[in-house]
Structure 1
Amino acid sequence: MSRSTVGVLALAALVLPLTAACVDNAAPGDAASGTPAGSLTVSSTADGCEVSSATAPSGTLTFQVTNDGSDVTEFYLLGEDGLRVVSEVENIGPGITRDLVVQARPGTYYTACKPGMVGDGIRAEFVVTDSGEDVGPTGDVAAQLATAEQQYVAYVKDQVGALIAGTQEFADAYQAGDDEAARDLYAATRVHWERVEPVAESFGDLDPLTDAREADLAAGDTWSGWHYIEKDLWQPAAADNGGEEYVPLTDAERTQAADDLVGWTQELVDQVNDPAFTFEAFQISNGAKELLDEVATGKVTGEEEIWSHTDLWDFQANVDGARVAYEVLSDVVEAEDPDLAATLLERFTALDGLLAAQGSVEEGFTSYDELSDQEVKELSTAVDALSEPLSQLTVVVTGA
C-alpha cells in the first residue's frame, strides 16, 4: 500500500499535562554521577508497587521499573483522573528492569503496577512540582516536531473515520446473521484499529472493552469487543475450547455485542475529534516502539487472532503504524543521528518485504496457522532487528 494511506499510531489523550516516552534501558544520564537525571526506581511485586518517591520536579523523569515478582508486569503513569494512560511500559518479565522516560509538567498523576497484566493495578498518587524549567523542545526542532504532531492528528482522525464506517458495516452483517460477510470484513476493518490502538489505550477502558482477548480476562471479568465476536464467527471445537462445547451467542447476545462494539468505536471517534485532542512528538516515538512490542508479544506468537488466524493483517498494521511514526519524525532523526535513520529505513524495508511475501491488506494474507516454522522465525527475527534501533528513537527526538 502507499505510505500516504498507511495507519498512524499515537499515544495521546485529551490535553495531557505532560509528554511521555518509553525506551528500553536508554534513559538520559547525569554525566557526573552516572545515574539518570530525575531517576526514580520502581519495584513491582505481586502485591506492591514501590516507587522511590511520591514527588518529583518537572522535567525529564526516568522510572527504572524492576519486576521483583514472579509474574510478568506492567507499569503505567496515569493522568489526574486515574483513567488516561499518559505512558506505559509493558511485558516486564521477572527479574527484568525497563525504563520509562517522561518529560513531565507540573500536576497530579498516578503510578500503577499491574502484576500479571490484569486488573486495575496497584496505584498511588504521584505529584510533579514546578521546577521552573521549560519542559520540551525549543527553536527549530520544536517547529519540526509541531509539524509532525499536526500530521499525526490529521491521520488519526482519518483512520478512526474509516474504522467507524467499517465497524458499522461489520456489526450490521454480524447482527443480521450474515457470518460469511462478517468474516470477510473482520480483518480488513481491524487494520484501522490496530494502526491507532495506542490512542484507544490512552482513553481509559476503551481498549479492554473493545479489544480484550479471552486470555486477558481476570476472574469475574465480562468479555466484549472484537475477539468476543471473533470466537463466535470462528467457533472452536471442544478440544480447542478447554474441552467444552462452544455455545454460540443468541440473537439477543449478538445484537448487544454488535451495538457495544459500534458504541465504543464511536466513543473513540468522538475523543479523537474533540478540539482538545492532541499528542506530542515524544508520544509518537514512544508509540512506535510500543507497536513493535505488540507485534513481538501478540502477533508473532499467533495469540492475537487465535480463532480467525488473521494475525498478519494486525502485524502489517502495527508495522505500518510504527513506520509512519518514524517517518513524520525523520527530519529530526536524520539531522541528529543519520546512522540511526539509515538503520531504521533498512530494517523497516526488510520486514515489509517479508510481510509482502505473505500477501497484503488489500488482497489478503496467508492464514497465520499455515506459516511454516521457518517463516515465523524469519518474521520474529526481523521484528527483533527493528525493535532494537527503534528503542533509540525517543532519546534522539527528545535530545535527552
Structure 2
Amino acid sequence: MPRARPVLQNRPVRRRLVAVAGSIAGTAALAAALSGCVPNQASATDEAIAVTLDDAKCSVSTDTAKAGPITFQVTNKGQDVNEFELLATDKLRIVGEKENIGPGTTVNYVVQLAEGDYFSACRKGMVGQPTNVAKFTVTPGDTKEVPESESKQVAQAVANYTGYVRDQAGALLTATKTFAAAYSSGDDAAARSQYASARSFYERIEPTAEQFGDLDPALDLREADLEQGQEWTGWHRIEKDLWPPAGYTATGVAARGPIADKLVADTQKLYDLVRAKDFSLTIDQISNGAIGLMEEVAGSKITGEEEAFSHTDLDDFQANLEGAQVAYGVVRDIAENKGSAGKSVVTKLDSEFKTIAATLAIYKSGTGFVPYTELTTEQVKELSDQVNALSEPLSQLTSIVVK
C-alpha cells in the first residue's frame, strides 16, 4: 500500500502561471509556444473506474474494487484545477492521489491497494479540506501467481530506488547546510552559485518528499501560491533575497538566520524520514513518481514559473528529468517483461528520454544552464513538444508494471 501522509490544511496549488521575460515576446507568444503542453488525454478502458470532477463535487462510478492494481479514469469537467484522492479510514491520511488535473482533462491514475476500507475525495484548486468524501471498499482480489523471478525483480527495484532516495536526501542535506551558511552570512555570490545545484537533489526526489505532509510546501512553496496570512519559507523565499526584483528590499543579514535555520531543519526532517526504519516504497509509487516528475516539468519548469527570480528553471528541468530517468530505469526491465505492450512502451520511452536529454544539453552553460529568459519562443516550443512526446508512453508505465 502506498505510504500514507497527513492531509494538509490549505495545501498550495502549483498553478501554471505564465512567466514572460527576456527574449519571449509576451503572453500570447508563450501561450502559442506551449499550446501542446497539457496533460495527455487518457484512452478509454472497460477496466477503469470512472471519476468525474467539477467545481462543486466529485463522483466515483463504484464504491468497491478488488485488491491489487486499480485504475481510476478521472475527468475534470470544472473550470479549476482539481485533485483526486484516496484516504485511509481516519479520513486524514492520503494513501493515493492524482494532482494537477486541469479543466477539460481526462487522466488514468493507477494505484495498488490492499484489501480494506478507504474513502475517495476531491480537492478543488488543490487547497483546503477534501470534499465529497465517500466510502470506498477494497475487497479481496483474485489470487495471482507471481513468478518468483518477478517478485525478486520487484524487490530489487524497490531496494535500489529506496537507496537512491536516501542518497539524494543525504546529498541535499549537506548541500543545503553549505548554501544556508553562505546566505545567512551575507555571501550572496556564493549562495547564488550554489542555489541551483543544491536544489537539484530535492528536485530529483520531489514525489517522495511530497508524501510527508507539509514538508514540500515548507521547502518549495512559490510566492505565487501563498495563501492569505501564510508564512513563506524555503528555497524560493531565499531565492527572492538573492535575486531581488525591482522594488523589493532583500532581507538584511541580521534577520537571515531564522530563515536559513528553518530551511536546514526542514531538510533534516526529510532526511530523517527517508532514513527511518519504517520508510518504504512500492513499485507503483516509483513508476508514478517518474510520471509525476515529468508533470512537474510540464506544469512549471517549461513555463518558467518555478524560478521566478533566479530563472534557473532549466536546472530544475534537468533534475526532474534525471529523477524520472532513475525511477524509470529501476522498473524498466519489469515493464519490458510484460509482453508486447511492455516492450513497445519501453522502446518509446528509451527513445524519448534520449531525445529530450540531448535537446536540454544544448542549453548547458558551465556547470548549469542558461537562464530560462534566454530561450526563444521556438526553443520553448521544441522542449514542450518533447515533454509531451515523453509523457504519452510514460503515462502507461504504472499500469504495465503492476499488471
TM-score, scaled to structure 2: 0.83
The residue number in structure 1 matching 2:166 is 157
Instruction: Answer yes or no: is 1:217 the counterpart of 2:226.
Output: yes
Secondary structure of 1:89's match?
A: strand
Q: Please state whether the residue corresponding to 1:62 is helix, strand or coil.
A: strand
Instruction: Give the SS at the match of 2:337.
Output: helix
C-alpha offsets along residues 279-327 of structure 1, whole Å, 9 cap, x if unaligned? 1111111111111111111111001101100011110011111111111
How far is 1:186 from its partner? 0.6
Tell me which residue corresponds to 1:346: 351
Letter matched to residue 241 of structure 2: D
Q: Is the aligned partner of 1:68 residue 2:68?
A: no
Match of 1:193 in 2: 202
2:277 aligned counterpart, secondary structure: coil
Q: For the Cα contact (< 8 Å) 2:40–2:392, is it kept in 1?
A: no
Match of 2:265 in 1: 263
Q: Which residue is 2:314 aligned to?
A: 312
C-alpha displacement at 1:148, in angstroms?
Answer: 0.5
SS in 2 for 1:76: strand
CA distance in 2, matches of 1:193, 1:340: 28
- Following TM superposition, by how much is the alpha carbon of 1:54 offset from its aligned partner in structure 2, in angstroms? 4.9
Higher mean alpha-carbon deviation, 119-128 vs 250-259, is at: 119-128
Q: TM-score, normalised by structure 1?
A: 0.84
Return 5+ residue gaps in structure 2 as ranges.
7-38
Aligned-partner Cα distance in 2 for 1:148–1:274:
19
Q: 1:48 to 1:218 in 2, by over 3 A?
A: farther
Instruction: Report the Cα distance in structure 2 between the residues aligned to 1:304 and 1:52, rounded to whole angstroms.
Output: 36
**Counterparts of 2:41 and 2:284 in 1: how far apart (Å)?**
15
Inter-partner Cα distance in structure 1 for 2:335 and 2:248: 51
Please report how far the alpha carbon of residue 252 of structure 1 lies from its aligned counterpart in structure 2 after TM superposition. Answer: 5.6
* Aligned mate of 1:397, from 382, 398, 401: 401
TM-aligned CA distance change 1:357 to 1:95, over 3 Å: closer
Q: Which residue of 1 aligns with 2:20?
A: none
Q: Which residue of 2 aligns with 1:173?
A: 182
Letter in 2 for 1:328: V
Q: Does the CA contact (< 8 Å) of 1:45 and 1:69 recur in 2?
A: yes
Aligned-residue CA RMSD (Å):
2.7
The question of whether the paired residues in 2 share the 8 Å contact of 1:284 and 1:325 is answered with: yes
Choose from 254, 257, 272 the match for 2:256: 254
Structure-to-structure mapping, 1:257-296, within 5 angstroms: 257-296=259-298
Measured after TM superposition, the shift of residue 173 of structure 1 is 1.0
Percent same amino acid at aligned positions?
48
Match in the other structure for 1:373: 377
Query: In the aligned structure 2, how far is the partner of 1:320 from the partner of 1:363?
Result: 15
Residues 149-196 of structure 1: per-residue CA shift (max 9 Å, x gap): 010011111000000001111111111111111111110000000000
- Aligned partners of 1:68, 1:338: CA distance in 2, in Å? 34
Q: SS at the partner of 2:110? A: strand
2: CA distance, partners of 1:136 / 1:84? 31
CA 1:23 to 1:378, structure 2 compared with 1: closer, same or farther past 3 Å?
A: closer
Q: Is the 8 A contact 2:113 2:138 kept in 1?
A: no
For the residue of structure 2 that corresponds to 1:46, the secondary structure is coil
Task: Tell me which amino acid in the other structure corresponds to 1:368.
Answer: Y
Structure-2 residue corresponding to 1:19: none
How far apart, CA to CA, are the structure 2 residues paired with 1:246 and 1:110?
45
Aligned to 1:333: 335
State the Cα distance separating 1:130 from its structure 2 match: 3.7
* Residues 5 and 213, structure 2, Cα contact 8 Å, conserved in 1: no
Whether the 8 Å CA contact 1:312–1:365 is kept in 2: the answer is: yes
> Is contact 1:44-1:69 (8 Å) kept?
yes
Q: Which is worse superposed, 113-122 or 373-382?
A: 113-122
Q: Distance in 1 between matches of 2:245 and 2:381?
A: 26
* 1:79-114 Cα distance to aligned partner (Å, 9 max, x none): 456565433222222232222222211334443422
* Contact 1:64/1:100 (8 A) holds in 2: yes
**CA distance in structure 1 between the partners assigned to 2:263 and 2:244 by the alignment:** 19
2:22 maps to 1:13: no
Corresponding position: 1:233 with 2:242: yes
Take 2:2 and 2:65, find their aligned partners in 1: how far apart are those partners?
Answer: 22
- 1:302 partner amino acid: G
Provide the rounded CA distance (Å) in 2 between the counterparts of 1:355 and 1:12: 33
SS of the equivalent of 2:166 reads helix
Look up the SS of the partner of 1:278 in the other structure.
coil
Mapped contact 1:77–1:87 kept (Cα < 8 A): yes
The answer for the alignment partner of 1:96 in structure 2 is 105
Count how many residue pairs are aligned between Structure 1 and Structure 2.
368
Q: Quickly say closer, same or farther: Cα 1:229–1:93, change in 2 above 3 A.
A: same
1:48 corresponds to: 57
Q: Structure 1, unaligned stretches of length 5 or more?
A: 1-10, 17-21, 30-34, 238-244
Give the counterpart letter for 1:254 in structure 2.
R
